[in-house]
Structure 1
Amino acid sequence: MSDRKLITAALPYANGPVHIGHLAGVYIPADVYARFQRRSGKDVAFICGSDEHGIPITIRAKKEGVTPQDIVDKYHGIIKKSFADLGISFDEYSRTTSAKHYDVSQDFFKTLYNKEKFTEEVSEQYFDEQANEFLADRYIVGTCPNCGNVNAYGDQCENCGSTLSPSELINPHSMLSGNVPVLKETKNWYLPLNDYETFLNQWIIEGHKDDWKTNVYGQVKSWLNDGLKPRAMTRDLNWGVPVPLPNAEGKVLYVWFDAPIGYISFTQEWAEKTGKNWKDYWQDPKSDLIHFIGKDNIVFHCIIFPAMMKAHGDYIMPTNVPAFEFLNLENEKISTSRNWAVWAHEYVEEFPGQQDVLRYALLSSAPETKDNNFTWKDFQTKNNSELVGIFGNFINRVAVLIHKYYDGVIPAGNADAEELLEIKRSAAEIAQYLENFEFRNSLTALMNLARFGNQYLQVEEPWKTIKDNPEKAAHSLFVGAQIAVALAQLSEPFMPFSSEKLLTMFNLEKLNWSDIETKDILIETGHQINEASLLFSKIEDATIEFQIQKLENTKEENKKAVALQTVSQSEGAEAEAQIPKILLPAKDEIQFDDFTKIDLRTATILTAEKVEKADKLLKFTVDTGVDVRTVVSGVAESFKPEELIGKQVMILLNLAPRKIRGIVSQGMFLLTTKADGKLTFVTPDEDVANGIEIG
């Protein structure tokens, strides 16, 4: 491992605030790692910034009736302040609308263009004739060919996780007008990712099988096994970094081309301010480049961006890409569109001075290897039982007793005490876990040291031995003080605000991590400490109930919104007037011959089971009357597998097979959505034989 660490965190879209899912899955672990590396004496550059060119920005702007620049200016400020308030210690937090970023990303593009790394291709892309513009993938919505989700985007189905292209959608329509888009020719510049398959296989599949996280390695291996294809690096849009070529008016750089280059441009901004040489971090093979991301960004950071850097020729490859899974909220997927989230800026306002409580709770539930869950009750328990009852209790007992018996002066003790070895062991254990990106284990090791301190005091009972064995009492509190100071030092990456309070309380400066691992004594006999103060305070039930009620109110508002969208025409003209706002226009006419191509049959579900590592997918064995086949469908949030066995359903029999999460799916069920947002199967009115044609 290098002594120079370039640490990046995924660029948040500046179309809304950050929530606990972002914090747990990217930013707090990245900050812990950066702080630890600084304490270990490493040369660290911790880089991030707002992604201000994504399609979500333009969608938000259209919804609010403002310009994209208005949106990014607003949310860049909110996001940056939230990170600062929560102690995320970026060395540079910038934005992709900066002049520096435009220059760097355009120069990067021109370098690849001049090296003839792009291919120019004319293709047919969807065009909204009413809006008079080409549609980015996220502006096209239709039915997912894999799971039947009717709200799949042109680039991804968020229901089953499949990566899509707009041409794969069934019944696509424009999000701008609701109309069916037409195909129109346009020219764009493509990066032939297939040219880099050999390089990517050697670098990742052969080079990082044993040291990268299995979710990252597995996803990259799956992509490479399926074969890579050329991908357009430019788009027909009016918001983004302009393509720096003649006759490219109306075209911008693909957001996933310019966004990761932000890591480079932001590093250059930081280097200019600090007198550093940015090339030391990006072009010196002795540097470590580590990307902290969510699992939905693996393909971009492990395939597309590395291929771009390889094509450029001047850049190092990532040393590691520790991607995290997703965090749910109260057992439901976090959703910004449904306001089902705990927003960072609201937490800071509603829990003043308790930033470390959130950091601790999210780290202890970090979705490192699988999706995890945040609940307000668990948050309360972690604070009251662990931070107050264990960590804070130990610190307070030590400090109060030293003030009570020794006027705040550290008493004499045996520096060779066996108990002090626990400090060195804990420091080394925490360090090893952090080097391996095991944040939950590292936090547990920290808390185990606090538990050890509490148990030690309970056994020694200096408040009793002070009367008949004052020398033993002094030694006990000498050892307790060493453990307390170790906690003050070791907790800094995890809980920086509390660590600062503790160091002030014990009248000490920060130590290098190696000193904590090697020094026999962390605080000397005769050292004067300051007055004790409580680190954490109990969170009352009423505070938690308020937060839970906020979520319940959100749930009720969402139910009302669904009910409004499904209002019946029979409710009268007033209700009927609302329907055009939420119903799509009728689709284009089809001929009878088109309809006869559909082979829709009755079938019976024989088996149903969850798909591993896919919260929304169920795998079915289905008797179609013609054969027995496998179908994968994104219905796990609406049904339990066991309740579907024996159910008669309708299946599209002649849909081309498609591999989903490594399983070949041979068909699609006919489903619809209920008023509560849950899916339901369209079924025959009565039991009939399997294989009966529907038509």
Structure 2
Amino acid sequence: MDNSKIKRYTVTAALPYTNGPVHIGHLAGVYIPADIYARYLRSNKRDVKFVCGSDENGVPITLKAKREGITPQEVVDKYHKIIGDSFKEFGVSFDIYHRTSSSTHHQTAADFFETLYDKGVFTEEITEQYYDEQAKQFLADRYITGTCPNCGNENAYGDQCENCGSTLNATDLINPKSTLSGNKPILKETKNWFLPLDKYEGQLREYIESHKEWRPNVYGQCQSWLNAGLHPRAMTRDLDWGIRVPVRGADGKVLYVWFDAPIGYISATKELCNYAKLDVWNPKAEEYYINNYESDKCGWEEYWKDESTKLVHFIGKDNIVFHCIIFPAMLMAHGGYILADNVPANEFLNLEGQKISTSKNWAVWLNEYLREFEGKQDVLRYVLTATAPETKDNDFTWKDFQARNNNELVAVLGNFVNRVVVLTHKYFNGVVPTLMELKTEDQAVVDELASFPAKISASIENYRFREALSEVMNVARLGNKYLAETEPWKLIKTDEDRVRTILNISLQICANLQILVEPFMPFTADKLMKILNNGKQAWAEAGSSHLIKRGHSINEGELLFEKIEDAEIDFQIEKLNQSKASNATPAAAIPAKENINFDDFSAMDIRVATIVSAEKVEKTKKLLKLTVDTGIDQRTVVSGIAEHYKPEDIIGKQVSIIVNLAPREIKGILSQGMILMAENSEGKLTFVAPTEQFEAGSVIR
């Protein structure tokens, strides 16, 4: 897009699922590059809205809720706050961090669907989808796992293989199984609404081929999809969590998460602009977080429908198809919306040579990092940018993290600024000295300094953030080299005027660093601003050798960075080793009890039973009163499972019960039997039950 025609920017960052905290893979892939870009635009006085929010719909949320024994709403509330607080503390400068459970988003997504429905865009199709007979529900993509047909990964999901990155349909999986029951699902007919992507194939090809400047991984993946031929894709799902499909005959169905999630960018912009118009903000403090907010009375449509707006999506490579094929097709079908000018998708970041895995706790979690490395946000921002997987998968190691901090941030950037500030206070009482006669070597430094902003700008505007950061560090290297070659500490006794010039130029380099470093390391920029006592300056002023005036007083210095010791790194490596050990070695089993004879075992009458009703026992935390059908009779059993199961969730479940255990009174209730449970090393309980439906009363031998 021609920069001269751009009036404003809409910058989006992929909505994180609120089923767990954010880790370094998310930061390196999406949020740090997006923040660098948005901060750079603001420094250039550009009109930009940087939007994001929690993705609170979809199967990952319901899976997490089932694992933790809580409701989906409790899951999203918990992780929305953890993620939002972490982003804010880490300095990610969203104008708004929204959530897709908001009324604004529900209405926006529903209206969008209705518009397409009323235009006749969707096709209604009855298809066979996987159904779990034991759980009695259709299975969304993430409720199904199996073997990937492309790479053989046995733990691929019904929509994607996280090992090879292939996008899948659930029916593509080999040996599929339900994550709810572990059973093999059956195919059962259901009705859903499909977006006919094939009808937009020509428009999509024209759109994508007009952006050959996109990163090769993005452009190549889009071409691969187009060349394989697009097919209609269901935009609704048989689920009980999400945004209800707003048309008749859609009971029990919600919008497909990848239909509603990108609309979250639009609803977030609406929310931001609506409150800007009112000159008020944050009516519900728990709903969203905001940084750098200015009430500019914006109109949301300007940022989504005006052709002079540049739209940029920052995503990971696993989201390319959704942002470059499906979302554009939705916008084309709706009409009136602009399409993304660029979709800079990063590759994956590995950790210590292995793929990051949230389920195996093989990750560096942002909320834990902020607690364990207090005040070192910029160290992680620097390392993840310097090693960003922009063109290929890359690896984060704790030893490299330590080395980059100690050898680059401390020894290069921090060392240069500290030397200049200390020498200025030592020789001139902290007052910026007058620039005297320039020598050839001085002019060379001034000229080189002036060249950096344009180089860094070009790299940022072409989404080459590693390259841009390297050039910023070269400014500090220029300063160190200049000091080392001019040696003002030796000249002070014989040529004070020469030292005045050297330190003036060195302070100009520091002032330039304050501007140039801000998009990458905002906390460091704030420290520099405090030390130089020079106020915040715009990008347009960078490159000048007159940013800080003679006679201006600077403050006492403080260390920009501190050395990270081996003990801190060893602690982090040991945490990962513990995760590796717990994944490789089963938890220690409880020792076996003393042997019994066969007659003792034969005396127990264990049957399959079905739970008919369940309720909590008053004034207790652990007890549930169950009515069970044993096939012989219906009886009452008191079971200590209330902390693991909600009464309404277990009605109809089959269990194993000892039916000939002598009755006993528990909290005034006569309990006639014992439900058999398995308990793992973490104290979690699960029913011992048949793996397929059995008649109540079936004997367990």
TM superposition score normalised by structure 1: 0.81
* Equivalent position amino acid for 1:49 in 2: G
Out of 175, 193, 198, which is 1:194 matched to? 198
1:582 deviates by 12
Residue 312 of structure 2 aligns to a residue whose secondary structure is strand
> Residues 621-644 of structure 1, C-alpha deviation per residue, up to 9 Å, x if partnerless?
xxxxxxxxxxxxxxxxxxxxxxxx
| Match runs of 1:645-684 below 5 Å | none
Out of 343, 346, 351, which is 1:329 matched to? 351
2 CA distance for matches of 1:584 and 1:201? Answer: 53
1:25 equivalent in structure 2: 29
2:243 equivalent in structure 1: 241
1:620 equivalent in structure 2: none
1:355 equivalent in structure 2: 377
Out of 256, 260, 271, which is 2:273 matched to? 271
CA contact (8 A) 2:436 2:497 kept: no
Out of 518, 524, 531, which is 1:492 matched to? 518
* Equivalent position amino acid for 1:532 in 2: G
| Match runs of 1:374-385 below 5 Å | 374-385=396-407
Residue 431 of structure 1 aligns to a residue whose secondary structure is helix
2:571 equivalent to 1:546: yes
CA contact (8 A) 1:489 1:503 kept: no
2:461 equivalent to 1:459: no
Out of 260, 263, 269, which is 1:261 matched to? 263
* Equivalent position amino acid for 1:219 in 2: Q
2:698 equivalent in structure 1: none
2:39 equivalent in structure 1: 35
RMSD: 2.3
Out of 512, 526, 531, which is 2:551 matched to? 526
Task: List runs of 5+ in structure 2 lacking aligned partners.
Answer: 277-296, 590-597, 602-676, 694-701
2:20 equivalent to 1:16: yes
2:450 equivalent to 1:447: no
1 CA distance for matches of 2:463 and 2:194? Answer: 35
* Equivalent position amino acid for 1:455 in 2: K
Out of 51, 75, 81, which is 1:77 matched to? 81
> Residues 515-559 of structure 1, C-alpha deviation per residue, up to 9 Å, x if partnerless?
214x34111111111111111110011111111111111111111
2:504 equivalent to 1:478: yes
1 CA distance for matches of 2:479 and 2:263? Answer: 47
CA contact (8 A) 2:312 2:340 kept: yes
2 CA distance for matches of 1:119 and 1:255? Answer: 18
2:234 equivalent to 1:208: no
1:578 deviates by 8.6
1:57 deviates by 0.6
2 CA distance for matches of 1:290 and 1:494? Answer: 18
CA contact (8 A) 1:123 1:186 kept: yes
2 CA distance for matches of 1:375 and 1:583? Answer: 42
CA contact (8 A) 1:179 1:585 kept: no
| Match runs of 1:288-307 below 5 Å | 288-307=310-329
* Equivalent position amino acid for 1:550 in 2: K
2 CA distance for matches of 1:484 and 1:148? Answer: 54
CA contact (8 A) 2:508 2:545 kept: no
Change in 2 beyond 3 A, CA 1:235/1:474: same
Change in 2 beyond 3 A, CA 1:458/1:123: same
> Residues 630-686 of structure 1, C-alpha deviation per residue, up to 9 Å, x if partnerless?
xxxxxxxxxxxxxxxxxxxxxxxxxxxxxxxxxxxxxxxxxxxxxxxxxxxxxxxxx
| Match runs of 1:8-157 below 5 Å | 8-157=12-161
> Residues 360-397 of structure 1, C-alpha deviation per residue, up to 9 Å, x if partnerless?
01100100000000000000001101000000000000
1 CA distance for matches of 2:236 and 2:386? Answer: 41
1:154 deviates by 1.2
* Equivalent position amino acid for 2:74 in 1: D
CA contact (8 A) 2:237 2:255 kept: yes
1:130 deviates by 1.5
| Match runs of 1:622-661 below 5 Å | none
2 CA distance for matches of 1:185 and 1:438? Answer: 48
2 CA distance for matches of 1:15 and 1:87? Answer: 22
CA contact (8 A) 1:48 1:263 kept: yes
2:581 equivalent in structure 1: 556
1 CA distance for matches of 2:147 and 2:84? Answer: 37
Deviates more, 1:189-198 or 1:579-588: 579-588
1:562 deviates by 8.8
Out of 454, 461, 465, which is 1:428 matched to? 454
Out of 491, 502, 513, which is 2:528 matched to? 502
> Residues 314-368 of structure 1, C-alpha deviation per residue, up to 9 Å, x if partnerless?
1000000000000000011000000000000000000111110010011001000
1:245 deviates by 0.8
* Equivalent position amino acid for 2:268 in 1: F
Change in 2 beyond 3 A, CA 1:328/1:415: farther
1 CA distance for matches of 2:113 and 2:586? Answer: 44
Residue 53 of structure 2 aligns to a residue whose secondary structure is strand
1:583 deviates by 12
Residue 467 of structure 1 aligns to a residue whose secondary structure is coil
Residue 291 of structure 1 aligns to a residue whose secondary structure is strand
1 CA distance for matches of 2:112 and 2:537? Answer: 41
Instruction: Name the larger-Rg structure.
Output: 2
Residue 542 of structure 2 aligns to a residue whose secondary structure is helix
2 CA distance for matches of 1:585 and 1:154? Answer: 25
1 CA distance for matches of 2:352 and 2:16? Answer: 23
Change in 2 beyond 3 A, CA 1:585/1:336: farther
1:308 deviates by 0.1
* Equivalent position amino acid for 1:120 in 2: E
Residue 180 of structure 2 aligns to a residue whose secondary structure is coil
1:584 deviates by 12
Which runs of at least 4 in structure 1 moved beyond 6 Å after TM superposition? 576-588
CA contact (8 A) 1:420 1:482 kept: no
Change in 2 beyond 3 A, CA 1:587/1:371: farther
> Residues 572-628 of structure 1, C-alpha deviation per residue, up to 9 Å, x if partnerless?
x99x9899989999899xxxxxxxxxxxxxxxxxxxxxxxxxxxxxxxxxxxxxxxx
CA contact (8 A) 2:134 2:692 kept: no
1:536 equivalent in structure 2: 561
1:389 equivalent in structure 2: 411
Deviates more, 1:143-152 or 1:27-36: 143-152
1 CA distance for matches of 2:502 and 2:260? Answer: 59
CA contact (8 A) 2:311 2:341 kept: yes
Deviates more, 1:55-64 or 1:121-130: 121-130
2 CA distance for matches of 1:457 and 1:466? Answer: 13
Change in 2 beyond 3 A, CA 1:328/1:347: same
Task: List runs of 5+ in structure 1 lacking aligned partners.
Answer: 565-572, 589-695
> Residues 155-175 of structure 1, C-alpha deviation per residue, up to 9 Å, x if partnerless?
122233222212222222211
Identity across aligned pairs (percent)? 59
1:489 deviates by 1.4
2:186 equivalent to 1:182: yes
CA contact (8 A) 2:35 2:519 kept: yes
1 CA distance for matches of 2:164 and 2:484? Answer: 53
> Residues 84-118 of structure 1, C-alpha deviation per residue, up to 9 Å, x if partnerless?
01100000100000000000000000000111110
* Equivalent position amino acid for 2:63 in 1: I
1:499 deviates by 0.4
1 CA distance for matches of 2:561 and 2:228? Answer: 52
Change in 2 beyond 3 A, CA 1:583/1:300: farther
2:394 equivalent to 1:367: no
1:147 deviates by 2.8
Deviates more, 1:268-277 or 1:302-311: 268-277
2:233 equivalent in structure 1: 231
* Equivalent position amino acid for 1:259 in 2: A
Residue 468 of structure 1 aligns to a residue whose secondary structure is coil
